[in-house]
Structure 1
Amino acid sequence: MDFHVSRIVAVPKSEVLIKGSKGAFIQWLVTKDHGAHYAVRKFSLEPGGSIGMHTHKYQETVIITKGKCSVCVNNQVYELEEGDFIFINGGVKHGFKNKDEALEFFCIIDYPDDMTIVPVDEKCP
């Protein structure tokens, strides 16, 4: 495919199923199905929502476009808000916890051979 045009609202939204997640939803905007070597995903977290601690082999860049959240990376916590971004390398444990308003962020990832997500039995404070 040479190009793809769409609207975010037209892309199906599904619940994030990582253990420890709640009120979190994902949309796969650009994927290898479009011929890309990377993926662009949009996440939406309800107030109080979270994405449980986990690891995976792919790298990701997260760009906050609405709201505020805590991002737990290894054993550190970072407070991010609209306009902030974070790069997380493959194999690094991390999770997200939303604050008191709707949270939206875009996440860009690569496609390693193994896309398995491994839950980590820890909580993001």
Structure 2
Amino acid sequence: MDFYLSNIQEVEKQEVPIKGSKGAFIQWLITKDKGASYAVRKFSVLPNGIIPMHIHKYQETVVITKGKCKVCVSDKIYEMQEGDYIFIDGNVKHAFINYNENLEFFCIINYAEDMSIQVLDDECKGNP
């Protein structure tokens, strides 16, 4: 396929399939099925929603486009808001915790041989 054109509103919104996630939804915009060697996903997280601490082998870049959240990466905590972005390498534990408004972000990932996600017992604690 030489190109692919669509609209975000036309892409199915699914619950984030990470155990312990709450109020978090994902849309797969660009995937290997469209001929890409990477994936572009849009996440929408409701107020007080969470994507719990987890780890995976693929790398990701997250770009916040609406709202603000707490991001735990390794053993550090950061506050991110609209316009901020973060690169998270493979095998680095991380979590996203939304505050009291809708959060939206894009997440670009590479395709690793193992795309599984492991949920961790670690909690994202403390203040940024």
Regarding TM over 0.5, the answer is: yes
1:19 and 2:50 equivalent?
A: no
Unaligned 5+ residue runs, structure 1? none
CA distance, structure 1, for counterparts of residue 97 and residue 40 of structure 2: 20
List per-residue Cα deviations over 1:6-33 (Å, max 9, x = no partner): 0000000000121221000000000000
Unaligned 5+ residue runs, structure 2? none
Deviation at 1:124, TM superposition (A): 1.6
Instruction: Give the aligned partner of residue 100 of structure 2.
Output: 100
Which consecutive aligned stretches of 4+ in structure 1 deviate over 2 angstroms post-superposition?
Answer: none
Indicate the SS of the match to 1:2: coil
Structure-to-structure mapping, 1:20-99, within 5 angstroms: 20-99=20-99
Scaled by the length of structure 2, the TM-score of the pair is 0.96
Opposite residue 28 of structure 1, the aligned amino acid is W
Opposite residue 66 of structure 1, the aligned amino acid is K
List per-residue Cα deviations over 1:60-118 (Å, max 9, x = no partner): 00000000000000111000000000000000000100011000000000001100001
CA distance, structure 2, for counterparts of residue 30 and residue 102 of structure 1: 23
Count residues in correspondence: 125
Opposite residue 114 of structure 2, the aligned amino acid is D
Indicate the SS of the match to 1:33: helix
The percent of aligned pairs where both chains have the same amino acid is: 66
Instruction: Give the aligned partner of residue 10 of structure 2.
Output: 10
